[in-house]
Structure 1
Amino acid sequence: MEKINQQNSLYEQFLRYSYKDLKELFKKAKTKEEQDFYITLSDLALQKEQQRVIGKE
């Protein structure tokens, strides 16, 4: 198994996408499975943003 490069980890890639980007990818998805993947990631991005906003209050 190939070692995972920390600089190019899946999490690091995820952080580059905004909620809006992920929703756009969802719209362009070709399969239900791909839609499910992007909607899950967009939900996670939204949760992270909500936690950030709540933390500022």
Structure 2
Amino acid sequence: MRPLPISPETAVKLAEALNVPLERLMHMPQHILMQKMMELAKQEQEADKADKQEPGKAE
């Protein structure tokens, strides 16, 4: 299996966001990577929605 055709900067950011080693990310099947990215996007949307529902919350 060949490495994913993404830039090194993108690979580093994705590895950090998905909490996987860079080497594992680069050889991850594309359909699994897309699934993990969709899960990450869903989590971010839920977090944004929760933040909007609690406008008085200070961080």
TM-score (norm 1): 0.52
Aligned to 1:24: 19
Residue identity in the other structure for 2:54 = K
Q: Which has the higher helix share?
A: 1
The whole-number CA distance in structure 2 between the counterparts of 1:24 and 1:34 is 14
CA RMSD of aligned residues (A): 2.2
After TM superposition, what 4+ stretches of structure 1 lie above 2 angstroms from structure 2?
none
Aligned to 2:40: 42
The whole-number CA distance in structure 2 between the counterparts of 1:33 and 1:24 is 17
What secondary structure is seen at the aligned counterpart in 1 of 2:19? Answer: helix
Gaps of 5+ in 2: 1-16
Report the Cα offset of residue 24 of structure 1.
Answer: 1.7
State the identity %. 3
The whole-number CA distance in structure 2 between the counterparts of 1:23 and 1:48 is 16
Gaps of 5+ in 1: 1-21
